[in-house]
Structure 1
Amino acid sequence: MASSPTSPGFAHEHASGSHNYDKKKMKMGDDVNSNSFSALSGHPGSGGSLEEGQVREDNGDDDEEGEGEWMQVDKRKEKKVKKQASKAVMNPPRFFYSSTEIKKRKEAITIPEIRDLVLNLVADAPAPTWLRIENPRSIQKVLILLIPGLTPSLLSLPTPTLSATESPFLPLPVPASTPSFPFISTFMHALPTIAPGESTKMHSVMNTFFSGPVSGEEKKRRILERISQERNMSSDPSQYCMTVEQMIENDYPVPSYLADVFTPPSDDWVQIPLAKYVGPKRAKIYALDCEMCETEDGRELTSICILDYSTAEVIYREFVKPSKPIIDYLTRFSGITAAHLESTTTTLFTVQQFLSSLLSPSSPSSSLEEGEEYADTPTPILLGHSLESDLRALRILHPRCIDTSVIFHHPRGPPLKPGLAWLTKKWLGREIQNRGEGGHDPEEDARACMDLLRRKVDGGVGFGTFKTDVESIFVRMGRSRSAGEGVKSAVVDHGNPSGWYGAKASTCVACKNDEDVVRGVEDMIGGHRFVWGRMVELADALGWTTSRDKDAPPPSTLTSTTIPHPNRTKETNPFTAGTTSTPPNPFSTSSSDPLITPSSTQAPISSSSASVPSPDLEAVISRTNAHLQKIYAALPSRTALILFTGHSDPRAMSELNARRGKFEREMRFGSLSNSNSQSRPNGNSEDGGGAGGRKVYEKDGGIGESRRPLKSSPSKLKAQNLNVDGGNGEESVRWTSEDGRKLEEETMKARKGLLFLALKP
């Protein structure tokens, strides 16, 4: 296959081009050249410097200018390093797709395989089988960009083969000229990819990319650590107190005497001292939960509930009058209305006084800052779920905290965090936060945290932690010592990734738009070995993203700024998960799935509407192309550029999943009412079907005298044609076997993506 013509400034060669290769080592006839160059500018470190190749021999005398004796050591090693450096200059890095290996595949390249390619280039992962990398040591930097919305039609790519004798996963040649997106000619091929998921669901591309299985050495270390923890099992809940490192990692306001990483933004913060205590007494534990409303000055405390862990009784519950006028009560989350706050006189200062008295050591002079006397009792412990949010609302710095979002794990492992409602359902067998528009009850949430801690103490350290053996790719990069130190990494993304998947990266850059991403990548690529960036404006213009609900809590004001580790600020992920309907979503708001899903208010999708770009869309496409050209121009020599789209249009899949989810909820509710009237809240009629007289029927040749109450479970939906009578004038919800097949088809379409590889000469 002949090479595609390239845009100015790029030199492409086929594998069988001007260079001579040892055919015994590299079977070039089986490979497809992705992007290669005849030469690279710059030189790698030559090695063999005085510090590396020579040692100073000390003769015991005082050194004077010109004195001392030098001895050359390990000349063979020095020559080897120089030879490797010279070889790197003469033979620049090149990528070759292995068509032989790709033809053997039963699916397209996966997101974990893209992640492992990155780890191979910058850390210690094995080399991929589907890609041959020539002279990989001369690759100095790696930039990976996720840009949803770059579709085959936009890029004028050929349709993958449907022949029974050819693989649909082989690389697609990129046209020499693509007027709608000229930058794409930087690459020679587009490789089909598949997003993680199931037959009816697409999982998060980003969560999959940023978390991977641990190495064998790390897995062994974890096993030994678990064995040690089980041997030292204790019934004292204080063993689950967060370490300073955990507090920093989870964006807690850390007291200054523990670590100088947090500066209170105002002078009304209260710092609780840490008692110096030695004795048998156990610390008091108080479960706490707060609710906030949106004021003219941002989020402010409006409700608080505190329970005593030892007695399970409420010791403090107050509505709190904020200092600024409320502009949004956020009732569907906070449960607060104007009536709740109408007569309250309690202020934040009042609450701080109570907490200071409750949590301070028994002897004022016993803090570590003074360090002279010992307290009679240990410093009390605060217990909560994602407690850092409550502490910030209270403007309190406390040294001893237990966080149920940390001591319990998400099923897919860190950096995801489990939601409190999911944990309560999973480990306590009860449902909370199910009041609908009534919002959350702080006492209910605090009591759930308290009961979860009891279960944790009874079950031991390993209880509720899911042996997933996964870790952040940034942790793995940090262990790599290819250059004598851990790999420096940077994340440049919308929102504030430092409080999410970028928490372990060396540097995070928070962005408000794609232009910020371009600037961030330009700033970071010079000082970091690995840089991640994501552009979303194209997906926005295509209608792939979810607009924020007008009743949802708005995010804090974001600024495009570099935030050094470890003192960072956390921001809720601006994208929402929308592909799963049941059970309760295990994601917390601080780590929600970044799957791009459509707004429920958008018009139905049609193939015709998607085929003709609007003027606004054309402008976004042009800007995205210009952004990529600018980024590429800023890349240093020998930088590997990896661009992938992650997935395709998810709207049809999401709409079908939403309809199925609504149907399942109505069916489950109706089934309960028909099969067990005593288990149904707010009703005792045996044939009422729940609130509003909703009934679920199996479609038996039509709606009429022959229909009968449904007795099937949601798991049997695919084999039936079903209706749900909405009741109260609501439109009935349908789900048929044809809908199930359509959902599977749309899910497979949505999971398809593209991968592009290039090397900057």
Structure 2
Amino acid sequence: MEDSSDTSLKRSKPHDEDDEGWETVERSSKKNKKAKKIPPKESSNYPSITFNYNAKLQSKIALDHLRNLILYIFAEGVSPQWVSISHRPQFRKIVALMVPGLEEAMFKQDVDFATYNDPRIDCIDPAARVLTSPDDYYPRLLKKDELPDILKDFADMFPHLWPVRTPGSERFGNMRSPLGTILTAPAEKPKEEKGRKGVQPAKEPKDWKDERTRVTEFLAMPEDFQQNGYVLHPACLPAERRKDFVWPDGWVHTGVENFEDGDVPEEEIEQGSVTAGREVLALDCEMCMTGQDEYSLTRISLVSWDGTVVLDELVRPDKPILDYVTRFSGITEEMLAPVSTTLRDIQAKLLAILHPRTILVGHSLESDLKALQLSHPFIIDTAILFPHNRGPPLKNSLKFLAQRFLKREIQKGVAGHDSIEDAKACLDLVKQKCEKGKSWGNHESQGENLFRRLHRAGKAYRANGGADATGGINVGKTSAMVDWGDPMRGAGAASTFPIGCKSDDEVVMGVQRALHGDPMAEQIPVGGVDFIFARFRELEVLQGWWNRNRSGNDGVSDVLSPPDLSELSLETCLRNLTQRIKYIYDSLPPCTAFIVFSGSGDPREMSRLQAMQAQYKKEYNTPGSNWDNLSVKWTDREDQALRKAVGIARNGIGFIGVK
């Protein structure tokens, strides 16, 4: 092992707004004198976490459950039903260790590590990496004589191997970031909302400050268009490709040559104006069915920034209407009987109204624009602006957003939607976002950083905080994130002590520093911190999972390239891993909860198919594409393969113990 001084400690300021030095969690000497001593291991009040054999599990525990276990022990939360926790106040520390690449099948007694990653075996049955059946929700008892030699130490540290599901959706073909899930505490409901039914109005978080923001800051980017099924406008394409594209039959696009056409010089912008010199129009359409899974335009409404109705017309589809879907569209046969306006008429009017400085606002606007067969590069989509709390591809309904953020009821009754009412709701949501700032509406989906939550709501009890802490008091919990790269770049920036590393050996030494502190308290005080999160990555590299089991911007701290471990065998890597985990376990002080988890199952096939699907969508939604000659095909066969791959990727494992 390398000396602990080689691990990089970045000074973090997540909890100190005014002080230039380290923040110290101080407890009075009076309290310290009254704090009880750590109980002996054999005593009746020693803390424990044991499987609750009376629990009737209906599914595998989720990664969220491990995070909530941490919150319950050290902060606030509902007592877990899947484990029994005894003497919670006696817990002094929690260490959570993420080990991507660790799989359930590695713990099979007769596993052959020499052929474990043989692609020919993977092709036969990639699901063989999971030993428990989909209906087997219960943890597997670890028996030393039934484990491979190099993994036998796990039975000395943990009683069970837990199947753990990573949040995601086979139906939508996605898996949420394991790291983002474990390091994000769910947003707390205000006390007055707890127990109430129905949609509650949004409340400003504690210490919230409005940040007035220009509407142009909320424009959807080209990558948003691709991810949400928008047909791209030529201005979104590289310059060399714009001249070659050919529009699909019936489609039109607004007269914008490039993105810069929409820019307004600063001298032309009224001081303090959130519209930044742009014309903002809210658009909403109603459709009827004209074929199987085919919808055609029957009404269009366009509303200006001040609420004036710019356009509101009924439209007769070119094809016969099979279903007016009146309960949603509000359109009836009688309403359309005298109408002669066609889609081409509406397209002509819109092309006359929309110009390079126009911003279109709407909810899931890709559907409206497809009905109009029109594209425009400057879009604000409230479905993107106010993300779903479970992440994409799920989206909030406009009805919910109006209730939650505008305290307004829309789309009431059985008469169907009112497109003017819906357009005005979208407009008011954007106005509210401009007044309150970029984070408004996002905080509910993003939750709260786990390190920050523990610092804010961490509790002490009589057992470790003295008589004054009887019943539990908020004292804040100190923390450390020990990770490859620079933890300051991601969620670790909110930890009290972010420790950067370049190898798994450095991670071990970083954990030691966080556990016990620096000898002379140079940076980390003697006694260490309360909560430590660390991540090993060498197995992840060897397995070929590096950076593939996460999505986009999830607060991941690494900026390193994966090291070359091609000369390392899987057996050697696992032996080293077990020794490192055992070394950490042996050095844990008494009354420490120890959690080791993989984060996910094998994400490689899921990642390959997701990239393939993204390429298909990009080509399909590019103007001028020949849909019969795309470079990739996406059929029901690929869709089913992606669902299966997501199911495999979501199957992780975990271990829970107490030292």
Deviations 1:185-237 (A, max 9, x none): 2222111110011111111011111112233457879989639999x989x76
Name stretches of at least 5 consecutive residues in structure 1 with no aligned partner.
Answer: 1-48, 55-77, 239-305, 314-407, 417-453, 547-574, 579-586, 600-612, 670-679, 681-689, 698-724, 727-731
> Which secondary structure state, in structure 2, belongs to the residue aligned with residue 491 of structure 1?
strand
Q: 1:635 aligns with which of 576, 585, 588?
A: 588
State the shift of 1:82 in Å.
6.5
- 2:51 and 2:498 mapped to 1: Cα distance? 32
Indicate whether 1:487 and 2:477 are aligned. Answer: yes
**2:601 paired with 1:648:** yes
Structure 1 position 539, deviation (Å): 1.0
Give the distance between the partners of 1:227 and 1:210, measured in 2 at CA.
19
CA deviations 1:254-277 (Å, max 9, x no partner) are: xxxxxxxxxxxxxxxxxxxxxxxx
Q: Is structure 2 residue 213 aligned with structure 1 residue 212?
A: no
Q: How does 1:642-681 map to 2 (within 5 A)?
A: 642-669=595-622, 680=623
Alpha-carbon distance in 2 for matches of 1:474, 1:227: 17
Matched, 1:168 2:168: no
Q: Is the 8 A contact 2:38 2:90 kept in 1?
A: no
1: CA distance between counterparts of 2:210 and 2:600?
Answer: 45
**In the aligned structure 1, how far is the partner of 2:188 from the partner of 2:442?**
14
Provide the secondary structure at the position in 2 that maps to 1:180: helix
Please give the root-mean-square deviation of Cα atoms over the aligned residues, in Å.
4.6
Q: SS of the counterpart of 1:735? A: coil
- Cα distance between partner residues in 2 of 1:115 and 1:464: 24
Counterpart AA for 2:600: H
Tell me what 2:435 maps to: 460
2:149 aligns to what SS in structure 1?
coil
Residue matched to 2:653? 754
How far 1:507 sits from its partner (Å)? Answer: 0.9
Deviations 1:130-153 (A, max 9, x none): 000122222211100000111122
Residues 1:94 and 2:84 are matched in the alignment: no
Count of residue pairs the alignment pairs up = 382
Task: Please show how residues 721-736 of structure 1 align to structure 2 within 5 Å.
Answer: 725-726=629-630, 732-736=631-635
Summarize the alignment of residues 39-50 of structure 1 with structure 2, pairs less than 5 Å apart. none
Q: How far off its partner does 1:120 sit?
A: 1.2
Partner of 1:196: 167
How far apart, in 2, do the equivalents of 1:523 and 1:750 lie? 33
Contact kept in structure 2, 1:156 and 1:175, CA below 8 Å: no
Contact 1:496 / 1:510 at 8 angstroms: preserved in 2? yes
Deviations 1:314-338 (A, max 9, x none): xxxxxxxxxxxxxxxxxxxxxxxxx
Instruction: Output the CA distance in 2 between the equivalents of 1:53 and 1:650.
Output: 48
Distance 1:161 1:183, change over 3 A: closer
Counterpart among 78, 92, 100 of residue 148 in structure 1: 100
The aligned residue for residue 268 of structure 2 is: 311
Encode CA deviations 1:426-469: one digit per residue, 9 max, x unaligned: xxxxxxxxxxxxxxxxxxxxxxxxxxxx9768842167722543
CA distance in 2 between partners of 1:129 and 1:576 (Å): 28
* Cα offset, 1:97, TM superposition: 1.1
Distance 1:503 1:176, change over 3 A: same
CA positional deviation for 1:83: 11
Q: How has the CA–CA distance of structure 1 residues 522 and 465 changed in structure 2, closer, same or farther, with 3 Å as cutoff?
A: same
Kindly provide the amino acid, as one letter, of the partner of residue 185 in structure 2: G
Q: How does 1:164-313 map to 2 (within 5 A)?
A: 167-177=135-145, 178-185=148-155, 186-199=157-170, 200-217=173-190, 226=204, 309-311=266-268
CA gap of 1:595–1:753, structure 2 versus 1, over 3 A, is farther
Inter-partner Cα distance in structure 1 for 2:182 and 2:507: 19
Q: Is the 8 A contact 1:204 1:595 kept in 2?
A: no
In the alignment, structure 2 segments of 5+ residues that lack a partner are 1-27, 111-129, 195-199, 215-262, 271-383, 392-428, 466-473, 517-527
| 1-structure distance, mates of 2:610, 2:574 | 29
Counterpart-to-counterpart distance in 1, 2:205 and 2:609: 46
TM-score after normalising by structure 2 = 0.50
The 2-side partners of 1:227 and 1:472 are apart by: 14
SS where residue 66 of structure 2 aligns? helix
Structure 2 Cα separation of the partners of residues 505 and 229 of structure 1: 20
Alignment of 1:416-455 (within 5 A): none
Q: Hey, what's the Cα distance between the residues in 2 that align with 1:486 and 1:153?
A: 40
User: CA 1:51 to 1:615, structure 2 compared with 1: closer, same or farther past 3 Å?
Assistant: closer
Instruction: Tell me which amino acid in the other structure corresponds to 2:539.
Output: L
The one-letter amino acid of 1:528's match is: V
Determine the C-alpha separation between the residues in 2 that align with 1:754 and 1:665: 35
Greater shift in the superposed pair: 458-467 or 146-155: 458-467
Distance 2:206 2:191 in 1: 15
Contact residue 237 and residue 457 of structure 1 kept, 8 A? no
2:88 is matched with which residue? 136
The residue type paired with residue 633 of structure 2 is R
- Look up the equivalent residue of 1:184 and give its one-letter code: F
Mapped to 2, the partners of 1:459 and 1:411 lie a distance apart of 16
2:185/2:453 contact within 8 Å kept: no
* Counterparts of residues 493-504 of structure 1 (less than 5 Å): 493-504=483-494
Q: Secondary structure, in 3 states, of the residue corresponding to 1:622? A: helix
Q: 1:696 to 1:215 in 2, by over 3 A?
A: closer
Q: Distance in 2 between matches of 1:161 and 1:225?
A: 43
Q: Which residue in 2 is equivalent to 1:471? A: 448
Whether the 8 Å CA contact 2:489–2:555 is kept in 1: the answer is no
Q: TM-score, normalised by structure 1?
A: 0.44
Give the Å deviation of 1:615. Answer: 5.1
What letter matches 1:202 in structure 2?
A: M
The answer on whether the counterparts of 2:177 and 2:549 sit within 8 Å (CA) in structure 1 is no
Secondary structure of the corresponding residue to residue 541 of structure 1: helix
Amino acid at match of 1:171: P
CA contact (8 A) 2:213 2:435 kept: no
Q: Does 1:51 align with 2:30?
A: yes
| 8 Å CA contact retained: 1:412, 1:468 | no
Q: Distance in 2 between matches of 1:214 and 1:206?
A: 17
What displacement does 1:533 show? 0.4
Q: For residue 633 of structure 1, give the secondary structure of its aligned residue in structure 2.
A: helix
Q: For the pair shown, which has the larger CA radius of gyration, 1 or 2? A: 1
Deviation per residue, 1:256-303 (Å, 9 max, x gap): xxxxxxxxxxxxxxxxxxxxxxxxxxxxxxxxxxxxxxxxxxxxxxxx
Distance 1:743 1:225 in 2: 39
Q: Is the 8 A contact 1:157 1:175 kept in 2?
A: no
Mapped partners of 1:630, 1:477: distance in 2: 26
Is residue 645–residue 754 contact of structure 1 (8 Å, CA) maintained in 2? yes
* Residues 108-123 of structure 1 aligned to structure 2 (within 5 Å): 108-123=60-75
Work out whether residues 481 and 487 of structure 1, in 8 Å CA contact, stay in contact via their aligned partners in 2.
Answer: yes
Displacement of 1:477 after TM fit? 1.1
Compared with structure 1, are the counterparts of its residues 223 and 525 closer, same or farther at alpha carbon in structure 2 (3 Å cutoff)?
A: farther
Aligned to 2:627: 696
Distance 1:614 1:151, change over 3 A: farther
Distance 1:518 1:651 in 2: 27
